[in-house]
Structure 1
Amino acid sequence: MKKAIIYWFSEAEGGRKAPPTGTEYYPTTEILEDGKVWSLGIKFDRTNPTQNKMIDNCEVCFLFDHAPQRLLSSNEELIICEGPHKVGKMVIK
């Protein structure tokens, strides 16, 4: 698992009213270069909350071994999707 930070898109931006409240979350991400959609496993770090409710610290991994693991390198950005909706941007630490 890699450490990351998620910047949630507001409802006005087509995102969420509020971030998920649990400790685990399983969205998808679309890889623009090949148009494929991949499932992600995310565990939120609820021990060090940020001051901004629309930002979350987390750990992330792909749910499949053959996923493009290179995209979990430092400073890479992934768009978080719930179905067809883009709800956030993740930056790998």
Structure 2
Amino acid sequence: MPTLLHHPLDPSSRLARLMLAEYGVPVDLEEVKPWLRDPDFLEINPAATLPILVDDKGGQAVGCLAVLHMIEDLYAPTSVDGLLPTDAGDRAEMWRLFEWVNAKAQ
């Protein structure tokens, strides 16, 4: 089962949790308080940002965009389209909207 290092109030962590829930992926949630600068956490991500997704094989994605891509690559259902559009123009528009919303949330 993958593990998501997150904080409940972090907008990027919230987005990762939402995407995992949409795909029905069971996940272990490990709450991290990045402002405490725990050495074990800083070893994974010296920038002390969230979210971080660790897959079943120990692979890690650090940061919101990397986590979203990892979720899409590993867990998107094959029976329906994933949440990320396959068309380049549609995907560019999705990322534009993502950047706008994500910047406003922080």
What is the TM-score when the length of structure 1 is the normalising length?
0.29
Structure showing greater Rg: 2
Structure 1 or 2: larger helix share?
Answer: 2
Structure ranking higher on relative contact order (CA contacts 8 Å, 6+ apart)? 1
What is the TM-score when the length of structure 2 is the normalising length?
0.27
Structure 1 or 2: larger strand share?
Answer: 1
